[in-house]
Structure 1
Amino acid sequence: MERVERTACQGLINIIRFNWHFYLLSILFIVAGLFFRQLIPVQVLLVLIILSTLLSLGVSWYIYDGSGLYHLRWLDELPVSTGQRIINIHAGFDETSHFLQQKYPGAELQVFDFYDPLKHTEISIERARKAYAPYPGTQIIRTTAVPLPVASAHVIFLFLAAHEIRKEEERCRFFEQLHHSLQENGKIIVLEHLRDTRNFIAYNIGFLHFFSGSTWKRTFAAAQLIIGKEMKITPFLSAFILEKNGITS
């Protein structure tokens, strides 16, 4: 398979490309504010909007382009042997399968996509799906029916995807299925932004789309999964290394 590399500023460009309507509205608001600034004292608000937009773009560049996130070196301690089955599950936009296959060339990679246009109505995901072809062999699934046999997976990856399962009951049921599909020494890797102070500063009210650490821990516990390790990939991204209850690292 041909080696895939990310281009410079690819993450930042994609964010602007898929969410251009938000930035257009911000620009229009700023222009309107400047035009009517003699009638309405909005200078402070305009400065806050400009600073907030620049901050969110700067943080996004750091996370998705500057931090080396997609080099996957933070997974160097994860043992994956030739022939083992690894699963990558995403919610409509897959930026990681090619890199997982490159990192674990001897593993058997299977990719699942639980995107549902009736549930996931964000225009940004729809634009991303049109811009990027799916990884070869990607299988469309439902979160309520993950097609994995019991004890069949060595590692399951969920990169910035699980938060799209908005209903807690559905999310718990989804992770219960993943629990049953794991081998006894298997791992589930969940990468997410958290609804915390750092992400609020970076993304303003956009941080409400994320879940808090306590919410994730409640979900994992309900699925009888334990957190073998929790680590910060960047100050804005947390990775949970999950194991079957009773298995220790």
Structure 2
Amino acid sequence: MEKRRKFQGVLNILSFNRHFYVIGLCILLLITIGYIVFDWSNLLYWIIIALFVYGLIMPLLVSAYVYDFSGYYNFNWLDTCQIDHTSTKKIININAGFDETSFIIRNVFPKSNLSIFDFYNAKKHTEPAIIRARKVSLTYPNTQNIESNFIPLKDKSVDVIFLLSAIHEIRSPKEKVSFLKECHRVCKSEGKVIMVEHLRDLPNFLAFSIGFTHFFSNHVWKKAFKDAGFSSFTETKFTSFMSIFNYQP
């Protein structure tokens, strides 16, 4: 496994979402031209400039905080999930083709059997950011590509399922529930589904402005898991911008 570079998290965000920054800079240029040509008021111009600069810079600052300085990739937050390492025999980590966590999970659970699944479907999951991310992601050995509606494992065979900043790429509510039903099927009765996600809430709006619509609300996730058959969960905040959901069948 390659060691994470300094500011790798924020550089990933900048690289994967560069189309937003190109568009934003072009709009800033047009606004400046409009200011010069049409003689807007100075106050209006600088308010607009401040809002655009905020919208461009704040996501990078928050991403640096969450992914580079908060200790997210140290996995110390996993202590809140109360996983018994001695009885955890089978683990799966499911991603959308951008995998920064499987090697870490391997180190955290060296005695467990770890399988990696990638549910990415180019026809369904069309976000430009995830397409770019897949091109630079390390691939864990023997990663299996799957359909989101079928996990090729036996019923009640998995102790822990990790869904780490991945399943928001499933945009369809129906597909989301179908996928989670599969997680419910393969998860042991005493097993856990650990999901980490940004939410569509006020802190993430302040951080990502309109980009927070790429995430889903707490209510959406609760409903999807409930519809998939899960009966209990806990939610723990990891920074103000991410939530750790611990679901059990």
> Letter of the aligned partner of 1:215 in structure 2?
V
Gap runs ≥5 in structure 1: 245-249
Question: TM-score, normalised on structure 1?
Answer: 0.92
Q: CA deviation at 1:80?
A: 2.5
Q: CA deviation at 1:30?
A: 2.1
Deviations 1:41-85 (A, max 9, x none): 333212210012111111111111111111110113322237711
Q: Is the Cα–Cα contact under 8 Å of residues 180 and 228 in structure 2 kept in the other structure?
A: yes
| 2:73 aligned residue (66, 70, 74) | 70
Matched, 1:16 2:14: yes
Matched, 1:174 2:179: yes
Cα distance in 2 for partners of 1:123, 1:179 equals 30
After superposition, where does 1:26-45 map in structure 2 within 5 Å? 26-40=24-38, 41=40, 42-45=45-48
Name whichever structure is richer in helix by fraction.
Answer: 2
Cα distance in 2 for partners of 1:106, 1:143 equals 28
Cα distance in 2 for partners of 1:209, 1:129 equals 18
Matched, 1:195 2:195: no
- SS of 1:101's equivalent in the other structure is helix
Q: Is the Cα–Cα contact under 8 Å of residues 63 and 234 in structure 1 kept in the other structure?
A: yes
| 1:129 aligned residue (120, 134, 139) | 134
Cα distance in 2 for partners of 1:196, 1:214 equals 10
> Is 31-40 or 41-50 further displaced after alignment?
31-40
Deviations 1:166-202 (A, max 9, x none): 2212211211111111112100001111111111111
Cα distance in 1 for partners of 2:150, 2:127 equals 23
Percent of pairs with identical residues: 40
Cα distance in 2 for partners of 1:166, 1:28 equals 28
Cα distance in 2 for partners of 1:225, 1:201 equals 31
Q: Is the Cα–Cα contact under 8 Å of residues 4 and 99 in structure 1 kept in the other structure?
A: no
- The 1:100/1:4 distance shift into structure 2, 3 A limit, reads farther
Q: Is the Cα–Cα contact under 8 Å of residues 198 and 215 in structure 2 kept in the other structure?
A: yes
Cα distance in 2 for partners of 1:209, 1:7 equals 26
Gap runs ≥5 in structure 2: none
Aligned equivalent of 1:50: 53
> Letter of the aligned partner of 2:61 in structure 1?
G
The total of aligned residue pairs comes to: 242
Superposition RMSD in Å: 1.6
Cα distance in 2 for partners of 1:156, 1:164 equals 17
Q: Is the Cα–Cα contact under 8 Å of residues 97 and 135 in structure 1 kept in the other structure?
A: yes
- SS of 1:240's equivalent in the other structure is strand
